[in-house]
Chains A and B, each alone.
Chain A
Amino acid sequence: MAANLNLKVNGQEYQIKVDPAKRLLDVLREDLGLTGTKEGCGEGECGTCSVILNGKLVNSCLVLALQADKADILTVEGLAENGKLHPLQQAFMKEGAVQCGYCTPGMLLAAKALLDSNSSPTKEEIKLAISGNICRCTGYDQIIRAVESVVKARERN
């Protein structure tokens, strides 16, 4: 059995038929080919599959695809605009916040969700905002510094 699903992902509208047992993560990766979103634990504990759904950061492994019907979703593929990397992506590169890269899409979206709701967060607020996203490589320090540098650049402008 397949069900109709209407989605807006990274500004593009999709009308697809999906298996109702699928998770949003599966639809993004398998049906839409947006493999930037990674699967980590598959049970909502690591944050790797984070996407922004109607403005809120969610674990896409814990959202059934049909729960996202008519939703507006942002994945890591939608961060860059007109071929130009998002300031967070540039800062991650500059600060060395990417090592194996597996947590990076989720980290970027967790940071984006924070900056969307709080334009000048403190270091503690940044740490809290990414605390649902596990990174085993960096020790988080470079990631926190990358987000801080975007905040500082915004405050200067």
Chain B
Amino acid sequence: MAKKRGQGIAAIIYGTGYGNGFPDVSSATVEIHDDGSATVHTGAVDCGQGSDTTLIQIAAQELGVSTENITLITGDTDSTPDAGTTAATRQTYASGNAVLRAVRVAKQKLLQYGASVLGVNTPEGLEMVKGVVSVKGYPQKQMSVAELAFQARFSGVRLLGEGTFVTHTTEVDPDTGQGAPYWPYAFGTQIVEVEVDTKTGKVDIIKAIASHDVGKAINPQNVRGQIAGAVAQGIGYALMEEVNLGEGRINNPNFSQYLLPTSMDMAEIEPLIVESDEPTGPYGAKGIGEPAMLPTAPAILNAIYDAVGIRLNSLPATPEKVLDLLVSKQE
């Protein structure tokens, strides 16, 4: 049989955020407008991973309005408060928390004003759902968010909120390496099935199942997209991608020599979302950007071993390397 199939599994733990005591701070501001809509300012930059969508959803959820009512302004050093880099799997968690805190401050101001208007002795006696502020237990007594916000402003109450979130991190002991460098941690497990061509050494990916703990999937479609994209990058890392350096120069500086996976290299990917509720995250969420890439390569190498009994100790598992190992195994 020239082609042999095998399955491999790998599991990871990954610390999100900058870690090791590095300052990890996100800030946001929110203003609720006269019509009940709100504008959020934060430095968090969406590079395509979907943080804009996620942050808008968080603000809308907390304000009890639809996402169309949220305007998000990001990544403008003239006007947005710093929210750190889009790196380290940190924007949903750190900037999501900052937005949530900012919204809660603005909302509290609105509810405080609302308490006086609706004749409730504390703002805790009010709730804000679907664009309406109503008295808990007596919902007949209510006012639209828009009407209340409009009145508040003409009474001299500005509905502004600022939120800053600092991710917990401490430097590890330099002698022992012990400590609590990160929070939160991401967990994931992937199972990959491969087919190895024993005549050419080429490895094809048949299927990848990728199960990841994201705390809470604020936008499940975006989370699945992040996982599927990460598996694709993991396949590239495992089978193709290698920077070839020579005398200080990159010898393969283009896509015809540095190979990225194309649609033809891709397998069926089945992303699975595990929601464990991260108590420090916005609505229980934590990041998924980097961790979803990590189990793919070890799972593929384990699958190659399962298929043809060879262990690769360097990446990528190119046909040349696989074939060499197959030949020396036979000798």
Contact = CB atoms under 8 A, between A and B. Distances in A.
Contacts, number: 69
Interface in A129-144: 130-144
A100 B48 contact: yes
A128 B36 CA distance: 49
Interface residues of A, number: 27
A140 B255 contact: no
B266 A101 contact: no
Interface stretch (A23-31, A38-46, A65-73): A38-46
A56 interface: no
A8 interface: no
Interface string B247-279: 000000011100010111010110000000000
Contacts of A136: 229, 232-233, 260
B221 interface: yes
Contacts of B269: 139, 141
Interface string A98-138: 01111000000000000000000000001110111111111
B232 A138 contact: yes
B157 to A, nearest CB: 39
Nearest to A96: B221
From B47, B221, B231, B232, residue with most partner A Cβ within 10 Å: B232
B228 A141 contact: yes
A99 B54 CA distance: 13
Interface residues of B, number: 24
B229 A138 contact: yes
Contact of A45 (B222, B254, B264): B254
Nearest to A134: B260
Given A45-B254, A141-B269, 13 more contacts: A96-B224, A96-B225, A100-B49, A101-B48, A126-B263, A127-B263, A130-B263, A131-B262, A134-B260, A137-B49, A139-B266, A139-B269, A141-B266
25 contacts: A45-B255, A46-B255, A96-B224, A99-B225, A100-B49, A101-B48, A127-B264, A127-B266, A128-B263, A128-B264, A131-B262, A136-B229, A137-B229, A138-B228, A138-B229, A138-B232, A139-B230, A139-B231, A140-B232, A140-B262, A140-B266, A141-B266, A142-B228, A143-B263, A144-B263
Pick the 9 closest A-B CB pairs, nearest first.
A100-B48, A139-B232, A139-B228, A45-B255, A96-B221, A140-B263, A99-B48, A127-B263, A131-B262
